[in-house]
Structures are given as C-alpha cells and as structure tokens.
Amino acid sequence: MTPPPYITVPDWADRFRKKAAGAGSTIGQWRTGDVEIARGPMLAITEPGVSTITVMVCTQLMKTARRDIELKLLDLQAEWQLDRTTMRSKRGVRTVDIDCVSQRLTIGQTFGVSGDRTDQMFARLPAAIATNAGILQIWGGINNIGAVASGSPAYTYTHAVTGETVTINTVAAVTMRDLRQMAETARAAGMAVIIENEIGGSTITTTEKLAALNSLRQMIAEYGEVTPGIYVHDAFPAVMQPGAATPTFKPGYSYDGIHYSGRGAYWHAKSEAPLVDRLTAPRSVLIRSAMEVPANGRRQLLTNPIFATTTGGTAGNGITGDVPSGWTAAMGTNVGSASLSSVTNADGVGNGVQAAITYNAAGSFSMTQTLSGNSGGAYNANLQPGDEVEGFALVEITGASSALSTISLELTGSTAGAGGTAFGAMDLTGPNSSSDQGVNDTALITLRTRPVVLPSPTGTFPYLIAAVRATAFTAGSATIVVRQIGVRRRGS
C-alpha cells in the first residue's frame, strides 16, 4: 500500500477542505490564510511530542473548523502512521546519512550544473519532473548575485527565459521569482519541494551583494512560511560562521570558500535530516538477515556481504588481522597501515570489520570484492546483462577523526577486462584537494549508489567491483567499523 504523503494540517486543508453552505459566512475552498490565527494550532497537531493543545480565542473563531479538519486528516493518516511507528522501532539505531536521504528513498538524477543561474535551471526542470520523483530539491541564487554589480560599466545578465536585463538592484527579486516559479511548477506536478536557502560564500563581499543576499534569504524564508508543500531548509547556522561580516564557512567546511568539503556537506546534511525524515517514510536498504545470499533469488549479489565468515579473505598492502572471506582489504601504496578485527553487530546481522587505521600520508583504506566474468565473455554467474543493480553499505565512524576526508562507496565495472566500456556509480567522492576535510564526528553512515544497468559484455572477463574506501586528506588516524557491503538487483 502506498502511504499518503506527509502533510501538515494547514497544507491538507488548503488542498482538500471545502466549506459547506451554512457552516459559516463563506463557502467553497478553505484557505488557512483567511484565518491566519488558526495556523499555529493546526501545525501543532502533527508536531512530534505535542499531546495537548490549549487555545483561547473569541467566539466563532476557528475552533470548529480547525477541529473538523484535524480529525479528517488524522483519520486518513492514522493507519499509515501506525505502520511508520512499527517500521521505526524495527530499524534500531537511527542513521544520519551523509547525503541526507539515502536510507529512505531512491536517489534520482542530479540536474544541477556548476555555475548556472536560476534562470538557466528552467531548461532542465521538465526532465526533473518527468522522473516522477516525490521530492524536488532546489538550490540556487549565489551565481545570480555573483553575475551582477554596479559600476561603469555595470555588470548585468540577460535572463535566459524572459530576456530581461537583470541588475544588482533587481537580482534578488528576479531570483526569488525564478525559485517560486520552479517550485510551483513542481508542486502542480504533485511533488513536494525543498528549497535550500542560499548561504552565500567568499565571493559575496560588497555591501550591494550582501544586501542582495540578505534580501533573497528573507524572501525564501517567508515564501516557505506561507506556501503549502514548500519546505525551506537553511543550513547557514550549521555550516557558516555566525560572527563573520561576510559569508564565511566554518573552518574546514569548504575547500575553496564557495563549495563544501566533505565536512561541510556532512554538517549540512545532518541539519537537513529531520526535515527529510518528516517528508519520507523510513525504508531500510540494508541486509536484514543471513538468507540474503545470491542463491536465494539472485537479489543480493555479493558473497559474504555481512561478513558472517570472518576469515579467509585477502590481506593486501599494509593490512594485519582477519579479512572476511571473499573480500580484499588494502592500504594505498606508502599510505599507512590498518589492523583488522571482527566485532559482533548489535542487530545480530553478521559481523562488523573494525579497522584501526594509521595514515602516514593522504590516501585510502579499502575493502573490495570483484565479481569477475570468464574467458567466454560472460559476466560472473551472479550477474546478467540488463540487471539494474545498486550498491549499499553501512559504515560506522567510532571515534571523531581529524584526518578523514570521506567514507565512500563505489560500484564500478567494465564490459571487458581490457578495452571494455567502463560503467559505475558512487555515493560520496574522494577529496578534491589535500585540504578537503571530511567528517569530524562519530557517525553511523548508510551509503547507497544510484542504480546502474549492466551493459552487454564486449570482450572477455567483464567485471563488477564493489568497494568501500576510507580516505584521509593528511596523516593521522581513524577507527571505523564496516558493518556490511552489498549489491542488490532491482526490479523484476
């Protein structure tokens, strides 16, 4: 059964509530904005932790209508909410996903293009809506502000859709209009919309650009306050220095003053996770029992994904201790060493591989499994051309590390062992530079790649490789526990 989307009481009422003749001074579509005093109590009815709502108002003001709306919405959502509660209790430890949503829904295509302004994003909006995704996330604005300035001559740009000339005096309003139009187009198509409030960066330094940024941020926040189905997330408190006179990232949160490092991305995502959790029903992508092996339906395709067999694998460069059967563990050349040991997973699903890593320089620790094809040009017996597969992993950082750049999951392959066509997907990437700092927190991280369709082999020994990497940007140490790594076949 497909659940109803998470929806607040005002959102539901503005979409579905009709006022009958005789029920008040007006009839027709309910509009919360007409009785704005009711919005707070209506929002409170679905607020976590709220059990009692006390309202003191004049007679004939909001009480009956608000009660009727709340009862109708709760009746629609009650059965699904019970299912959500059950699912939550079965999940055990709640994870904070680096990409914010990877354990709760499929990650679709990214339609962002580096350097684009909001007016240039319109060209890709139809393709984004055509994915039939439930949520559209929009983030834009800094490139608009960066393109304009006063002076002689003034810096302006021509709007890609309307053809108007945008100046420093109009850029905030025009950008907000673009964001609003994209959001409302997506809402009309049935999508929920998250708008990321613009946080700025090191290029926003002049008084006029700061004024434009502040104006845009205010307009985005106000739009989210009054518009059903539009959810604004503002990562500014989590990633920026509050005492700085211009937009300045916290130390280590950006590698160039404009773009996130792995550390900044982590803290942004952690601040956004509560919002995403409200909008999506929990669904674990992880292995939940030892029966998930390739022979049982060819759904989970790796050997020993939960490390039930703790020994018998291959210890590569710099590795001491036990490597699980079917796996290879290794450090990069001259990178350092890692001591491996087996630990019991608290949920009873197999074992974890604890790696105490010492980095002598920037580089990676990795755990990999290769599904190799044969000399006849066929994939490994667990794979078939046309399979849609995705990788997933659960990795815990058990002690905050000042050396880590990223924990990543890679699913790569080729249609032939030599000269083939490469394919693959990943969740998180390696460092952009030697100063790309990563997670400095203890965390339980669910990693999940986008789905990949296996192409037909073009030569001998086609292959697929799954790998988890813990990459450092400098010398130091880290302790992680790889809880599981799997590859799942999707679809029928």
Mean pLDDT of 415-422: 93
Provide the pLDDT for residue 82. Answer: 26
Q: What is the pLDDT of residues 241-299, one digit of tens each?
A: 999 999 999 999 998 898 888 889 889 989 998 888 888 776 778 999 999 989 899 99
Residues 130 and 59 grouped into a single domain = no
- Look up residue 198 and give its DSSP letter: P
Residues 356 and 444 grouped into a single domain = yes
Residues 457 and 389 grouped into a single domain = yes
Residues 455 and 406 grouped into a single domain = yes
Distances (CA, A) of 197 to 175, 222, 272, 308, 363: 12, 11, 12, 45, 34
Residue 102 lies inside a defined structural domain of this protein: no
Token pair in block for residue 148: 């304009």
Mean pLDDT of 190-206: 93
Residue 306 lies inside a defined structural domain of this protein: no
Q: Above pLDDT 70, what percent of the chain?
A: 78
End-of-domain residue from the set 256, 279, 302: 279
Provide the pLDDT for residue 284. Answer: 78
Which of 86-100, 107-121, 227-241, 364-378 is least confident? 86-100
Residues 196 and 273 grouped into a single domain = yes
Per-residue pLDDT at 91 exceeds 60:
no
Residues 140 and 208 grouped into a single domain = yes
Residues 143 and 63 grouped into a single domain = no
3-state secondary structure of 123: helix
3-state secondary structure of 41: helix
Residue 21 lies inside a defined structural domain of this protein: yes
Residue-averaged pLDDT of the chain: 83
Per-residue pLDDT at 29 exceeds 90:
no
Give the whole-angstrom CA distance, residue 420 versus residue 465. Answer: 14
Provide the pLDDT for residue 69. Answer: 38
- Look up residue 470 and give its DSSP letter: E
pTM over 0.75: no
Residues 40 and 156 grouped into a single domain = no
Give the whole-angstrom CA distance, residue 118 versus residue 142. Answer: 9
Residues 73 and 144 grouped into a single domain = no
Residue 374 lies inside a defined structural domain of this protein: yes
End-of-domain residue from the set 56, 91, 126: 91
Which of 83-92, 239-248, 411-420 is least confident? 83-92
Domain extent, residue 186, equals: 118-279
Residue 309 lies inside a defined structural domain of this protein: no
Residue 445: which region, alpha, beta or left (left: phi > 0; alpha: psi -120 to 50)? beta
Q: What is the pLDDT of residues 132-176, one digit of tens each?
A: 888 889 999 999 999 999 998 999 999 999 999 999 999 999 999
Q: How confident is the model at residue 109 (pLDDT cuts 50, 70, 90)?
A: low
The domain that contains 218 carries what CATH number?
A: 3.40.50.1110
More confident residue, 92 or 462: 462
The domain that contains 406 carries what CATH number?
A: 2.60.120.260
Residues 40 and 122 grouped into a single domain = no
Per-residue pLDDT at 54 exceeds 80:
no
- Look up residue 422 and give its DSSP letter: E
Mean pLDDT of 470-482: 95
Distances (CA, A) of 382 to 59, 265, 389: 70, 35, 11
Provide the pLDDT for residue 399. Answer: 86
Give the whole-angstrom CA distance, residue 357 versus residue 375. Answer: 37
The amino acid that residue 323 corresponds to is V
Q: How confident is the model at residue 6 (pLDDT cuts 50, 70, 90)?
A: low
Q: What is the pLDDT of residues 378-410, one digit of tens each?
A: 999 999 999 999 999 999 999 889 899 989 999
Q: Which residue has the tokens 């130091």?
A: 476
- Look up residue 192 and give its DSSP letter: E
Residue 303 lies inside a defined structural domain of this protein: no
Residues 448 and 339 grouped into a single domain = yes
Provide the pLDDT for residue 479. Answer: 97
Provide the pLDDT for residue 80. Answer: 26
Do 461 and 373 touch, CB atoms closer than 8 A?
Answer: yes
Residues 168 and 76 grouped into a single domain = no
Number of domains in the chain: 3
Residue 285 lies inside a defined structural domain of this protein: no
Q: What is the pLDDT of residues 437-469, one digit of tens each?
A: 888 999 998 899 989 999 999 999 999 999 999
Give the whole-angstrom CA distance, residue 317 versus residue 294. Answer: 29
CB atoms within 10 A of CB 36: 12
User: CB-side exposure of 247: number of CA atoms within 13 Å?
Assistant: 29
Q: What is the pLDDT of residues 342-371, one digit of tens each?
A: 999 999 999 999 999 999 999 999 999 999
CB atoms within 10 A of CB 67: 13
More confident residue, 220 or 402: 220
Do 302 and 369 touch, CB atoms closer than 8 A?
Answer: yes
Residue 454 lies inside a defined structural domain of this protein: yes
Q: Above pLDDT 90, what percent of the chain?
A: 60
Do 279 and 231 touch, CB atoms closer than 8 A?
Answer: yes
3-state secondary structure of 163: coil
